[in-house]
Amino acid sequence: GEDVEQSLFLSVREGDSSVINCTYTDSSSTYLYWYKQEPGAGLQLLTYIFSNMDMKQDQRLTVLLNKKDKHLSLRIADTQTGDSAIYFCAESWGNNRLAFGKGNQVVVIP
């Protein structure tokens, strides 16, 4: 399978911005995704970006894609306590499978 790398832990104060980074390996991925997992729940799609885009903005979320470096980031503006979760990036690869990173735990401090 493909290899998706993420850092593991981030703490951020409520109201600040948080940035989560990810590197991926398959340059032919059509879509790249950010999923959110709250405690005791499954993963939910937060946002995605098509591989021919550099940036996508969706309310408080900004996704940046650097195809040359195979680097994906998610910026959450005005971070709120409800944003505390594990965030996974994922890339699409052969036969419509998704390869997930190990996840980045975000803890929002009130």
Partner 1 sequence: DARVTQTPRHKVTEMGQEVTMRCQPILGHNTVFWYRQTMMQGLELLAYFRNRAPLDDSGMPKDRFSAEMPDATLATLKIQPSEPRDSAVYFCASGGLAGAGGTTGELFFGEGSRLTVL
CA distance 60 to 90: 20
Q: Which is nearer to partner 1, 17 or 30 (CB)?
A: 30
Please state the closest distance from residue 16 (CB atom) to partner 1, in A.
26
- Look up residue 67 and give its two tokens: 């195809």
Q: Which residues bind partner 1 (CB under 8 A)?
A: 1, 30-31, 33, 40-45, 48, 50, 88, 92, 95-103
Q: Which is nearer to partner 1, 40 or 110 (CB)?
A: 40
Q: Which is nearer to partner 1, 18 or 103 (CB)?
A: 103
CB atoms under 10 Å from CB of 35, counted, come to: 21
Please state the closest distance from residue 102 (CB atom) to partner 1, in A.
4
6's CB contacts (< 8 A; 6+ apart) are 20, 21, 22, 88, 89, 101, 102, 103, 104
Please state the closest distance from residue 68 (CB atom) to partner 1, in A.
23
Please state the closest distance from residue 53 (CB atom) to partner 1, in A.
12
CA distance 89 to 101: 6
